[in-house]
Structure 1
Amino acid sequence: MADGQVVSATLFSPLRKIPGPKLAGITDLWMLFQVLRGRGSIEIDRCFREYGDIVRIGPSSVVVRKPEDYTEIYVGHKYRKDARMAKLRIFGIENVISAVDPGVHRHLRKLTNPLFTSESVKALQRPLQELLDDLFVHIDQSSRRQESANMWNLYRLLAFDFLGQAAFGNSFAALRKGTEMALMHDMDKFFRLLTIKTGLPSWVYDMTCCIPVSKWQDIVHSETRLMTLDNEIDRKGMPLSESFLCSTILIFLIAGTDTTSTSLAWITWALARYPQIYKRLRKELEVAIPDADILPDYTSLRRLPYLSAVIKEGLRRWPPASLYLPRIAPPGGAVHCGCFIPESTSIGCSPYAMHRNENIFPDPDKYEPERWLEESNGIYTLKSSSEMMSSYMAWSTGVRSCQGQPLAEMELYCVIAALTRRYEFYPDPETTDDSMREFETLLLQPISHSLKIKFEQKF
């Protein structure tokens, strides 16, 4: 940055009075550095603790964490998506996540909404039960060998197969085989590529694509390899050869596989780590599920208060899509936390930091399902309304909320209920606080990319 730009950003910017790291007021490189080292949201949370409810994280970028700001920014189309979100296009084609224009987003969402109706979701419980049977085969085999099951890997296979069932009417059978498809490896690499792509200016990203390092080039070319997905689908008898359909399918698989599997892993880790929480959930499930082999319908599972609290707290403590979601201040600007935010300024909230606001979530680093419950005459129910829900960003809110929420929630409820009802489980010695340390790409994942759990059948 030229000296004049530094002086302008420091002395004359309308954002100059908003607190934040000094370097962030001069260059976007501060935030880029945090993202590349897997600490984007973690650093934003630290900044809120140091500076207050509004923080400057770039020359023209601001984050806030008050509930009223969250509602103002994300409900409706007044604050449009940041143009940087367009970098999430696949093959250069718009999708529901990358679409900045409200009309385009509305059209794309309408095309895929039939997948997420309550009728469509209910129809998928039986195929999900079949996948759970495959999951139990792997767990039982590990148990008989007195080995741990790596639930990080198994949950990824299960989520991937479930999305195949939802999108195409057929599972990929990856879980049954117990191995990841080449497609999944390319999805992982492409996900890493998107993390870098969204953080870098386009011209810098284009230059980095020319770096002649084999591992990096393998990642760069993952998008090209993913373009063969339409051929793979053709071979399964489902002719979807147009790039638009291929792009839509891929964003569906990429957005749905790791978000759900990561959430399952974090919640399983919490239940294995805190026996008292496991025991309370187990007690509730023994009443609701007399036969461990017969899972009740999803609607019945949703009525279980402690199961609901366990899942809701897992999504609070470890929000799957944790990185802050940038929007653009509307024409004429806006006021947030007593500060004027000029139009075109990038502003948003971080789910990770919102969920750690100690004024709303006391002892926020503690996994505590009870915070979501209220008691009356000895009967526990989920809190019907609270300040916590006004800061709850697991699925975002408004017109841009997570489209796949109904599908993901059914998967979370059914898997956690079935696993807890069937097994007693605890961490393998290799699974420690250090191995489960949080690392952020576009998602919040354990740095080890592993979750080894020991299981014992307990019908």
Structure 2
Amino acid sequence: MFKTVAQFSELPPETPVHVVMEGIDLVLLRVGDEVALFESRCPHQGAMLHESAVNDGHIVCRAHGWAFDGVSGRCRHKPAVSLRAIPVRVTEGAVLADEDAVRALVLERRAGSATSADAAAARDEPAPMAIDDLPGPKGLPVIGNAHQIDPERLHVVMEDWQRRHGSFFKFKIMGQTAIAVAKPHLIRMVLRERPHNFRRIDTIEAVFEEMGAQGLFSVEGGVWKRQRKVVAQALNARQIRAFFPKLQEITGRLMRRWDRAAEQGGPVDVQADLMRYTVDVTSNLSFNYDMNTIEKEGDVIQQRLEYVFPMISRRVNSAFPYWRYFKLRRDRELDEALRELKVTIDDIIGLSRERLRRDGAESGPRNVIEAMLLIRDEQGALSNEDIFGNVFSLLIAGEDTTANTMVWILHFLSRRPDVFARLRQEADEVLGDNDILPDIETAGRLVYHDAVINEALRLKPVASVWPMGACADVVMDGVAVPAGTPVFLLTRVPTLLDPDGAPALEFDPERWLAKDRHAAHFDNVMVPFGAGPRLCPGRSLALLEIRAVMSMIARRLDLVPDPDGPPVGERFAFTLIPTHVRLIFSGRKAAAPVRADHEETV
């Protein structure tokens, strides 16, 4: 039986169109006079292909660049891999899809799910073991292991437990049993099987709701799907290309700020400066609002944002929600920061409302806020609270993750002059006489820059611990995991081992240029931007920001660690935040590269 899914005349050429049938996400694509319908999950790591771009008749996954023929579905570089196709036909101008084929796909996915308890029984496999039978650290009565967990050292505690108890273990917090996994295939499985089998841990949504800041970062289910579509459109390749001149302008502001620092010769808090940079980029692209925190001194929004994310992480990972009964000084400071942020964000929303009133809704949205203001559903317009939550989510997610990754890169470069010299050589060759990326195509030629970025993300991933939860009864490697069980993904553990299991702790970008099994191994086990349906929508923007800043530094400045600064450290607050990274900039010199006395390791 065939069902109408679109009108042929209304299909934009070579543009992915999202179709949902029987709860399955599909991507519809018109190439010339031909139409094809595929399952929207990339077979690599499950990213949604309807959020991707089409290039030369191929739909290109936004996660890792796998390209699939828009008619046959065959992978360009891996001919043995193809997208799952759903038969379609065009009748009297209508595009019809085979409903029976979609239902067969649904049954196949359920039967073949590695996490289905029913599927395991149907295959006559041994009864799964209980999670209580897993190894794990010893705890105390009632509180379990709660006393052993410091929220700001969560990654250290978890990784230590992994070394002692293996890559699949249990622990207990206030009577609730949780599990932690560091096996790459289980990490990928959890991320791919969202939202039907796994979701973010429940406390994330609860904490954001208490703060009045529910947005794309924290919501689940149908609400997430609706909001994701708006945000993904605002961060797609076309929007980023149109935004590029503004990115150049903001990068120029940072360049001038650091040129002045080089003239003064004192240590620079690069983390604070880079957070200013990422706030300015996010606010300009997503809200068409120029905060220009780089050129402002004193009280700026960035100072509020950098306080919020660590407090959210502390509450999410707290064994007891004490703040609901009494508030410490840091909780009162959080409340004050949220109030001030709401005033700023409400002003931004007000400007967007005024633009729509002035120009008319038919002019269409120019940014995320305007798109949300135009959304209508069964309950009417999105509330100011919904819009505030998404603006808030974009600001904190776009600020901390990208800025901290750049800080880690600069930390490694300051201690590896040989790597910095190679980076500079490439920047000179690719940028020519430009100090700032002249166009997006040039960014794609910075191959060694990408190797440096990948190596920093391998050693210091954006999120080294992912707090998730099972939302259905599942089986993981022969272990029955009941619905409601917290599942912590230790994503950094497998990235610190080479394919043979030997430690890979040295900062060595060369490993990404070898194109051998080692590079393939690390590419397969790394998930710095997530995987599956909830792959970070800002991935492309983040990588472009990092390339722009690193190439600018290579062209303009020399850098060394502050010899009088405290030791560099790290703390966990959703992201792996560097601490005490102080660098001294100077104007570029033509000095010969000198190998560091010791290798920089994690």
TM-score, normalization by structure 1: 0.85
Q: Kindly, what percent of the aligned residue pairs are identical?
A: 21
Alpha-carbon distance between aligned partners in 2 of 1:52 and 1:146, rounded to the nearest angstrom: 48
* Higher relative contact order structure (alpha carbons within 8 Å, sequence separation ≥ 6): 1
Aligned to 2:302: 184
Report the Cα offset of residue 313 of structure 1.
Answer: 0.9
Structure 1 contact 35–441 (Cα < 8 Å) conserved = no
- Could you report, residue by residue, the CA deviation over 1:297-333 in whole angstroms, capped at 9, with x for unpaired residues? 23332233211110111111111233323131632x2
Equivalent residue, structure 2, for 1:162: 281
Corresponding position of 2:261: 142
- The aligned residue for residue 44 of structure 1 is 158
In structure 2, what is the Cα distance between the partners aligned to 1:168 and 1:373?
Answer: 37
Secondary structure in 1 aligned to 2:484? Answer: coil
Amino acid at match of 1:408: A
Q: Which amino acid aligns with 2:587?
A: E
The answer to whether the aligner puts 1:14 opposite 2:130 as a matched pair is yes
Deviation at 1:21, TM superposition (A): 1.2
Which of 367, 373, 392 does residue 250 from structure 1 map onto?
392
Shift in Å at residue 170 of structure 1? 3.2
Aligned to 1:417: 551
Residue of structure 2 equivalent to 1:197: 315
Aligned 8 A contact 1:286 1:421 in 2: yes
TM-score (norm: length of structure 2): 0.66
Shift of the 186–295 alpha-carbon distance from structure 1 to 2, 3 Å rule, reads closer
Instruction: Decide whether the 8 Å contact of 2:513 with 2:519 is kept in 1.
Output: no
**Residues 233 and 283 of structure 1: CA distance in aligned 2, closer, same or farther (over 3 Å):** same
Closer/same/farther in 2, CA of residues 301 and 113 from structure 1, 3 Å limit: same
What corresponds to 1:377 in structure 2? none
Q: What code does the residue aligned with 1:111 have?
A: V
Alignment partner, residue 184 of structure 2: 67
Structure number with bigger Rg: 2
> Deviations along 1:51-93, whole A, 9 cap, x unmatched?
2111213342111112211121111334221322213425445
Mapping 1:317-396, distance limit 5 Å: 317-328=459-470, 330-331=472-473, 333-336=474-477, 338-357=478-497, 362-374=502-514, 386-396=520-530
- Tell me which residue corresponds to 2:338: 223
Query: 1:157 touches 1:174 (CA, 8 Å); kept in 2?
Result: yes
Structure 1: runs of 5 or more not aligned: 1-12, 375-380
Q: Deviations over 1:335-387 (max 9, x none)?
A: 32x4333343222312333433455674333211112121xxxxxx6989722
| Structure 1 residues 67 and 298: alpha-carbon distance in aligned structure 2, compared to 1, 3 A threshold | same
Q: 1:289 maps to what in 2?
A: 431
Aligned residues: 429
Distance of 1:190 and 1:419 partners within structure 2: 29
Q: Is the 8 A contact 1:150 1:451 kept in 2?
A: yes
- Comparing 218-227 with 436-445, greater Cα deviation is found at 218-227
| 2:248–2:436 contact (8 Å) kept in structure 1 | no
- Which digits, 9 at most, give the CA deviation of each residue in 1:19-58, with x for residues without a partner? 221118964653x75343x211122112222221112133
- 1:456 aligns to what? 587
In terms of fraction of residues, the more strand-rich structure is 2
Q: What SS is found at the alignment partner of 2:529?
A: coil
Structure 2 unmatched ranges of 5 or more: 1-128, 355-368, 370-382, 591-602
Q: Aligned match of 2:230 in 91, 96, 111? A: 111
C-alpha distance in structure 2 between counterparts of 1:163 and 1:282, whole Å: 27
- 2:248 — aligned with what? 129
Of residues 96, 109, 113, the one that matches 2:216 is 96
Q: CA deviation at 1:123?
A: 2.0
Q: How far has the Cα of 1:165 moved from its partner?
A: 0.9
For residues 105 and 51 of structure 1, the distance between their equivalents in structure 2, rounded to whole angstroms, comes to 36
AA aligned opposite 2:251 = L
Q: Which residue of 2 aligns with 1:7?
A: none
Partner Cα separation in structure 2 for residue 74 and residue 177 of structure 1: 40
**Deviations for 1:160-208, whole angstroms, at most 9, x for unmatched residues?**
1111111222321110224451x33332333233123212367533023
Cα distance, 1:335–1:149 mapped onto 2, change above 3 Å: closer
C-alpha spacing 1:382/1:288, structure 2 compared with 1 (3 Å): farther
**Aligned mates of 1:165, 1:43 — CA distance in 2:** 38
Q: Any residues of structure 2 matched to 1:230-309 within 5 Å, and which?
A: 230-233=345-348, 239=354, 242-309=384-451
Aligned to 2:492, the other structure's residue is in SS state helix
What secondary structure sits across from 2:265 in the alignment? Answer: coil
- Aligned to 2:559, the other structure's residue is in SS state strand
Report the residue type matching 2:218 in the other structure: S
* Cα distance in 1 between the residues matched to 2:476 and 2:140: 21
Q: Structure 2 counterpart of 1:51, which letter?
A: H
